[in-house]
């Protein structure tokens, strides 16, 4: 039966080829010019149907809770949101203008913001927070009363003046967890007196890691903002290297992105011990990235590491335009950085030139320490297929104008 079907398919293909081979050239040209627009319109409409669109935040998602020195928990408090101010500024600034892209953002009130997306992380969260708070306390101090040793430490790692914002915040984005992630975070906050330093935002329902990270970055108050996975696979002692990398490539407006990279670990024991399927899928995805992403993004060797830092000036050129809420969101962030408006003279850096200026927000790829941590939510096979499909949809949506900077 199978052989008969195959023979019939070959016969139909041969007959079709004969028709094409003997058809007049003008008929082929007319056919092609008719089919191509139809195919383009069909693809465009299909993308409108399947391309993900971010949902608007639920009112409760614009509030946070934190601990009280008395041992209690605050009622929901309004959450600072630079993104709302950005929307208002864009509406007034862009009236009658063809370009609605604006780099406006409220001034920072802290030195560092840390966004942690968390979905059912009760088992891994506390260990990660221990290391993060230890580093952040030593480097930035608490916003209310940084210690002398903190100031000394900071002066060695930053050129900040005393008038610049001090302290840090941690925004834990609970992405619809069904376990005791929130209780674990509150218990940790009580134990370490992180009152109003550790803020917990609960999403109305699960959005995915990309949605949680984007939501958190809309509410940061720091001069720098970093997101870090709750599993603790990345080490906070490398945060200083990310800040230094961003400072090295930032442009005249202070825009820069620094991404933690595990590319130097390829061939190490941690990677070699992975299964053949996992390594094969990893290399296949990297090949797909090089083929489907624009030049600067395609040169980044590790797009998926969950440890990325943004200067405050870079945020309004990236976060308001995010669409992806799943695993592929990292790639969209990097593509948006690359496509950001022109800023600096070309004499400052080498790179893509548009009218004597360099386009895009510069990205520094910084090697970091990393370790495999059990309990991952990633299904290697199915999520890899989903990421490949998501990447194709993402690239096509931006290329064909389904997604735009508006």
Burial class (CB in 10 A: 0-12, 13-18, 19+), 84: middle
* Same domain, yes or no: 347 and 259: yes
* Same domain, yes or no: 23 and 101: no
* Same domain, yes or no: 132 and 31: no
* Same domain, yes or no: 373 and 286: yes
Q: Is residue 66 part of a domain?
A: yes
- For residue 257, what are the β-bridge partners? 310, 363
- CA-based end-to-end distance of the chain: 55
* Same domain, yes or no: 366 and 221: yes
* Same domain, yes or no: 44 and 125: no
* Same domain, yes or no: 41 and 65: no
Rounded CA gap, 112 and 157, in Å? Answer: 13
**Residue 168's domain spans which residues?**
61-399
* Same domain, yes or no: 234 and 168: yes
* Same domain, yes or no: 65 and 43: no
pTM score, whole prediction: 0.82
Q: Is residue 65 part of a domain?
A: yes
**Alpha-carbon Rg for the chain in angstroms:** 24
* Same domain, yes or no: 34 and 82: no
Domain total of the chain: 2
* Same domain, yes or no: 6 and 129: no
Final residue before a domain boundary, out of 10, 25, 48:
48
Q: Is residue 55 part of a domain?
A: no
Sign of the alpha-carbon torsion through 38, 44, 50, 55: negative
Rounded CA gap, 311 and 320, in Å? Answer: 15
Query: pLDDT per position in the chain (406 positions), as tens?
Result: 667 767 777 778 777 777 667 777 777 677 777 777 877 788 888 888 888 888 889 999 999 999 999 989 999 999 999 999 999 888 887 665 555 567 899 999 999 999 999 999 999 999 999 999 999 999 999 986 444 344 444 444 444 455 789 999 999 999 999 999 999 999 999 999 999 999 999 999 999 999 999 999 999 999 999 999 999 889 999 999 999 999 999 999 999 999 999 887 765 555 545 555 566 666 777 788 888 889 999 999 889 898 999 999 999 999 999 999 988 999 999 999 999 988 745 444 444 433 445 579 999 999 999 887 766 666 667 777 888 888 899 989 988 888 888 6
CATH of the domain at 76: 3.90.550.10
* Same domain, yes or no: 218 and 109: yes
Q: Which of the 8 DSSP states describes residue 313?
A: G
């Amino acid at each position: 039966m199978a052989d008969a079907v195959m023979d019939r398919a070959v016969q139909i293909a041969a007959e079709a080829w004969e028709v094409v081979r003997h058809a007049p050239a003008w008929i082929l040209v007319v056919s092609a010019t008719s089919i191509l627009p139809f195919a383009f319109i069909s693809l465009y409409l299909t993308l409108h149907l399947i391309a993900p669109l971010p949902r608007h935040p639920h009112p409760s998602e614009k509030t946070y809770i934190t601990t009280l020195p008395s041992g209690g928990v605050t009622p929901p408090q309004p959450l600072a949101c630079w993104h709302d101010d950005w929307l208002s500024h864009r509406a007034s600034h862009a009236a009658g203008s063809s370009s609605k892209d604006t780099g406006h953002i409220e001034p920072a009130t802290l030195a560092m913001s840390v966004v942690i997306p968390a979905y059912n992380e009760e088992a891994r969260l506390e260990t990660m927070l221990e290391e993060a708070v230890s580093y952040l306390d030593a480097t930035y101090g608490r916003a209310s009363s940084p210690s002398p040793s903190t100031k000394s430490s900071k002066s060695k790692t930053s050129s900040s003046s005393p008038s610049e914002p001090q302290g840090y915040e941690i925004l834990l984005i609970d992405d619809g967890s069904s376990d005791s992630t929130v209780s674990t975070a509150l218990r940790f906050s009580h134990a370490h007196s992180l009152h109003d330093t550790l803020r917990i935002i609960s999403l109305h329902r699960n959005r995915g890691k990309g949605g949680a990270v984007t939501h958190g970055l809309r509410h940061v108050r720091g001069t720098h903002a970093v997101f870090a996975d709750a599993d603790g696979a990345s080490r906070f002692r490398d945060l200083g290297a990310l800040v230094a990398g961003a400072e090295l490539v930032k442009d005249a407006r202070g825009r820069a992105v620094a991404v933690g990279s595990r590319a130097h670990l390829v061939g190490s024991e941690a990677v070699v011990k992975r299964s053949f399927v996992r390594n094969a899928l990893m290399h296949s995805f990297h090949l797909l990235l090089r083929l489907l992403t624009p030049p600067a993004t395609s040169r980044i060797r590790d797009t998926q590491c969950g440890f990325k830092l943004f200067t405050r000036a870079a945020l309004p050129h990236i976060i308001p335009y995010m669409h992806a809420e799943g695993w592929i969101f990292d790639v969209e962030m990097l593509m948006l950085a690359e496509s950001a408006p022109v800023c600096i003279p070309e004499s400052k850096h080498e790179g893509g030139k548009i009218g004597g200026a360099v386009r895009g927000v510069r990205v520094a790829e910084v090697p970091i320490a990393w370790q495999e941590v059990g309990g991952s939510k990633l299904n290697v096979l199915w999520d890899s297929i989903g990421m490949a499909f998501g990447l194709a949809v993402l690239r096509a949506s931006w290329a064909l104008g389904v997604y735009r900077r508006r």
